[in-house]
Structure 1
Amino acid sequence: GFGDAPSSRGGLARVAGWIPAAELENLRHALDQALSNPVFLEARPPRREEYSQVPSNLRHGSWLQPFAALVRNYGIPRYRELDPTWFLAVSFSILFGMMFGDLGHSLLIALGGWLLGYRLPLARPLLVAAGISSMLFGLLYGSLFGYEGLIPALWLSPLEDPVRMLKVAFAWGVFFILLATLFRIRNDLAEGDWQSALFDGHGLAGLTLYLALLTAGWQWSSGGSLTRWHLASLALPLAAILIWKWRRLEAPLGERLLVVAIEGFETFMNYVSNTLSFLRVAAFGLNHVALALAVFALAETMQTTGHWITVILGNLFIVLMEGAIVVIQVLRLEYYEGFSRFFRGDGRPFQPLRLTLDGGRP
């Protein structure tokens, strides 16, 4: 990519642009080999005010390509911004497995993804990763083609212990949001914006507020009463966020009061709603079992041939329809509860200039 337009005068030419630091010596060598006239190559790191102009040089292995495509669907990482592709690959697989845990159904997804890869190579890594994760959770849940009890549950049975399933989903949501907030702090520091890293609702102050909220919630749900320490731990980071927002906002007094109050309330409720949103992970895990039971109940009302036709078609319906719905729900969690916290996605990809030299040789 280019920061300034190329220019020339007489026998001289000037070209300015961006290049990965690792490729600098390769460029110098290539220019010396290709051009008979002397070349002067000057390089420097980008200044902070130029960060928005610097393209991102993103490279991913073949197994990360479908996840990189999902990231691009949301946006392109800025220069120095954390590339969330690996985070999406891991968390997508885990979330899908938790919501669609079945050893048999997920085996069909993994095999189908592998075979589909011959026609749609981009689909293979995503479907195989999702299928393998679901197979592991199927073993943990003791679920095989919707049948509970054919194989022993290595961990828990969602239908027999729904409360524990909800607790696991809640804990995963807390971990997910904490990690996303740490990513945001890292991105702000990488861009030199230490004030946002410290005082923003998605920065260190927001992280402290969230931890205080979790502590207070645990105390209250355990039957205890909130102490002054709990109230202070909630009030101090919230006050820091409000003061920082107040100082940044340039508006009349009434408007500043209204905007800061709304944004403070939004920051507080955002952590609560985002965490509770992860309860859908448990809900879909339970829904998967319930849907299989409905198929079996319908099959029991039929004769032998109709019974097995219903079982087979019902399982295919679960794999295709519910599998697609779970993918949508996982992406919703990734985009709205994850990416919206730390990923700005307003960068641009690095697209190198390609010139033809020596009569056609690039």
Structure 2
Amino acid sequence: MAIAKMRKLSIVAEPELKAALLRDLQNLQKVEVRDLPSELAEDELQLPQANSEAYAENFSWYERAEQALVDLSQYRQKESLKDKLTAKRPVMTMDQLYQEADLDKAEEVISRIESLKSRRTAIQDERETIETQQNELVNWRSLPVDPTTFADFEHFDAKLGKLPNDDNRQFWNTLQAAEGLSLAEVYSDENEIGVVLFIDKDQGDGLDGLLADNHFSEWEYPYQNGPDRAFQNLEKERKDLLDEEKHLVSDLQDLQGQRQTIALAAEVFYNQAQLQTVDDLTYDNDLLTLVSGWVTEEDYPDLQAIMTADYPSAVLLTEEISQSEIDNNEVPIKLNNNKLVEPFETVTEMYSLPKYNELDPTPYLTPFYILFFGMMMADLGYGLLMWLVTIFVLKVMDLKPGVKRFMRFGHILSYPTMIWGIIYGSIFGASLPIQLINPTEDVELVLILSIAFGAVQIFLGLMLKTYLASKEKDYDSAYSDGLGWLLLLLGIIVMVIGSMAMDNALMTNIGKWVAIIAAIGMVVVPMIFNDKKLLGAGLGLYNLYGIANYVGDFVSYTRLMALGVSSGSIALAFNMLIAFFPAPARFTIGLLILVFLHLFNMFLGLLSAYVHGARLIFVEFFGKFYEGGGRAFAPIKTLQDHVRLKDDK
């Protein structure tokens, strides 16, 4: 349970083997290809032409393939929930994938889907425009005069337009009484009146101000036929577009049979794009290809077996990792833990991976995260639900590695949730017959347990700091940041217990003097290791000021009590609320409401326990000894969204 030991490797092979070699390394998924340091690149080893165009083309086709699958999914027949949950990806080797993937056909199908989708979008836009025009025309269909004949009138002008429809029809009445014009109502609603105006040409110029004062809004009629005829023409266009759209949808539905073709092509396009990226990191000339990279000690025999079997003419070399590479954080990090600890690597990764010469904190944080999460959830019913859901997902569904690890993470956490639920005697907020601790009555006990567990975690962090600093021969930090604080805090705790809890004078004095000596040491030790003694003393005194931070750290662990009690209290309140329902409603709508409320409370509890558990690890624990900042091991990627690859080597 530690950071996987790495080997730095170089592979020298004939140029014609490069494509197959890189594909096999990708299939192995255990080798990270790195750029050769410039100081090692000889003049005769030339970086090949950048493959940015090839990468861009392959990745573009991958994105288009994924989008085509999304587009097709809108037109496929609905699958049952069972089929969705139990769907399995086909299993094949890399060679089988490349043999079965028909890229030319896939590109043709993808282009066809894009064309059909684009045309359907255009049709929908056209139809929306037509419907907007119809909505504008529908009120004018009863107009008795054809607006296209208005230009033929000899003695008067005609205009279509709208007036505001106020309560007393003030604007309508004003225009109705005006000389030199006549108006007729075509339609009206609560907001406006559609009118046709007939204006004497001899007086038309003088009426413009009157029309403006009465908020007349003219409508320039845009059609070649009367409103009713124009509406019918638009309706015919709309129906023709609907028919065309139905044919497009039918064509898209017929293409469902090509989903597998597109899915396999998406895998190949993605894999080829990744290979193009790696290809840029190799060095070539007419005689050889040089590939440099990293592999773990554990996986090195697998690489060696492939090289021996398939590339006997190639040379596989390994080098010692230099201290400079370790110091410059060039060595990639892969964590190697057992099945219990491995899911909790997600917590470490959220913070930061360790550096190559650091300690993997995952085995040390795991028991505390399990303990803290259980205390904050603390309900047998919620734990059982977590267990059932995660075990179902793990056993039935075809999960990708990241999702599978997270489900295992949740499955492990279901056990402490159930255990603490039994300790607190809580099942969906109701009391169990056995209750070792009543969190609402034994608040002081739960509070003491929370702080005690926190103290153990803090002390472990200080012990690790003492060990790691001593290992680096940094004895000043080992005492000032580790052992000194460990003794000081331990002395204070013993003194408090001796005086307040046990009334033991000897115990109190022992704790007091341990704390005093530790504090003096935190001032003296920096003076010993610092050439400027006064500066060392000042640093030591300033370090002692950090006692306030430790008080805050201990207080932070009270959230274990607070969240556990609050979650149980909220669940109990929900049960009491539904209990007030009359009997028929309690077992019908009340039951549904209760299920929803408990699921909501469970979601909030999971979120709180997940976040606050991580915070206690990151701040109160990692802050004592852990730095992080490592670079994750990144072997050549494969997609595996639509297939699962197996190794046939």
TM-score, with length taken from structure 2? 0.47
* Match of residue 463 from structure 2: 182
* Match of residue 205 from structure 1: 484
* Match of residue 171 from structure 1: 452
Deviation of 1:224 after TM superposition, in Å, equals 5.3
How far apart in 1 are the matches of 2:303 and 2:480?
Answer: 41
How far apart in 2 are the matches of 1:199 and 1:125?
Answer: 39
Compared with structure 1, are the counterparts of its residues 79 and 293 closer, same or farther at alpha carbon in structure 2 (3 Å cutoff)? same
* Match of residue 193 from structure 1: 473
Deviation of 1:250 after TM superposition, in Å, equals 9.0
Compared with structure 1, are the counterparts of its residues 247 and 27 closer, same or farther at alpha carbon in structure 2 (3 Å cutoff)? farther
How far apart in 1 are the matches of 2:459 and 2:620?
Answer: 11
Contact persistence 1:56–1:77 (CA under 8 A): yes
2:365 to 75, 78, 88: 88
Deviation of 1:145 after TM superposition, in Å, equals 1.3
How far apart in 1 are the matches of 2:488 and 2:446?
Answer: 26
Deviation of 1:320 after TM superposition, in Å, equals 1.3
How far apart in 1 are the matches of 2:475 and 2:306?
Answer: 43
* Match of residue 8 from structure 1: 42
Is 2:630 the partner of 1:347? yes
Contact persistence 1:68–1:85 (CA under 8 A): yes
Contact persistence 2:496–2:508 (CA under 8 A): no
One-letter code of the match for 2:562?
A
2:577 to 282, 291, 298: 298
Compared with structure 1, are the counterparts of its residues 38 and 257 closer, same or farther at alpha carbon in structure 2 (3 Å cutoff)? closer
* Match of residue 104 from structure 1: 381
How far apart in 1 are the matches of 2:541 and 2:477?
Answer: 21
Identity across matched positions, percent:
22
Compared with structure 1, are the counterparts of its residues 329 and 122 closer, same or farther at alpha carbon in structure 2 (3 Å cutoff)? same
Which structure dedicates a bigger proportion of its chain to strand?
Answer: 2
Q: What are the superposed Cα offsets for residues 40-93 of structure 1, whole Å, 9 maximum, x if unpaired?
A: x57446448944534333234666554212211100111132212233333222
How far apart in 1 are the matches of 2:308 and 2:427?
Answer: 64
Tell me how large the CA RMSD over aligned residues is: 3.7
Contact persistence 1:7–1:13 (CA under 8 A): no
Q: What are the superposed Cα offsets for residues 134-191 of structure 1, whole Å, 9 maximum, x if unpaired?
A: 111212222111111x3312x322223222222221221111112222222333344x
Q: What are the superposed Cα offsets for residues 250-287 of structure 1, whole Å, 9 maximum, x if unpaired?
A: 9997x877655333211x23333222321221222222
How far apart in 2 are the matches of 1:188 and 1:64?
Answer: 25
* Match of residue 55 from structure 1: 332
One-letter code of the match for 1:326?
A
2:346 to 55, 66, 69: 69
Q: Which has the larger radius of gyration?
A: 2
One-letter code of the match for 2:545?
F
Contact persistence 2:326–2:356 (CA under 8 A): no
Deviation of 1:9 after TM superposition, in Å, equals 5.5
Structure 1 window deviating more from structure 2 (162-171 vs 61-70): it is: 61-70
- Equivalent residue pairs, number: 348
How far apart in 2 are the matches of 1:64 and 1:224?
Answer: 42
Structure 1 window deviating more from structure 2 (289-298 vs 43-52): it is: 43-52
Contact persistence 1:58–1:350 (CA under 8 A): no
How do residues 1-362 of structure 1 correspond to structure 2 at under 5 angstroms? Answer: 4-5=37-38, 6-8=40-42, 20-21=296-297, 34=311, 36=313, 41=317, 43-44=319-320, 46-47=322-323, 50-53=326-329, 54-60=331-337, 64=341, 66-117=343-394, 118=397, 120-148=403-431, 150-153=432-435, 155-190=436-471, 192-196=472-476, 198-201=478-481, 203-222=482-501, 223=503, 229-245=510-526, 260-266=540-546, 268-304=547-583, 305-306=585-586, 307-351=590-634
One-letter code of the match for 2:513?
A
How far apart in 1 are the matches of 2:629 and 2:612?
Answer: 24
Compared with structure 1, are the counterparts of its residues 111 and 12 closer, same or farther at alpha carbon in structure 2 (3 Å cutoff)? closer
Q: What are the superposed Cα offsets for residues 196-254 of structure 1, whole Å, 9 maximum, x if unpaired?
A: 563232x222222221121122123234568664443212222333344457779997x
* Match of residue 357 from structure 1: none
* Match of residue 199 from structure 2: none
> Which consecutive residues of structure 2, in runs of 5 or more, have no partner in the other structure?
1-7, 9-33, 45-286, 638-648
Deviation of 1:293 after TM superposition, in Å, equals 2.3
Compared with structure 1, are the counterparts of its residues 312 and 345 closer, same or farther at alpha carbon in structure 2 (3 Å cutoff)? same
One-letter code of the match for 1:271?
Y
Structure 1 window deviating more from structure 2 (16-25 vs 181-190): it is: 16-25
How far apart in 2 are the matches of 1:92 and 1:352?
Answer: 29
Contact persistence 1:55–1:79 (CA under 8 A): yes
TM-score, with length taken from structure 1? 0.79
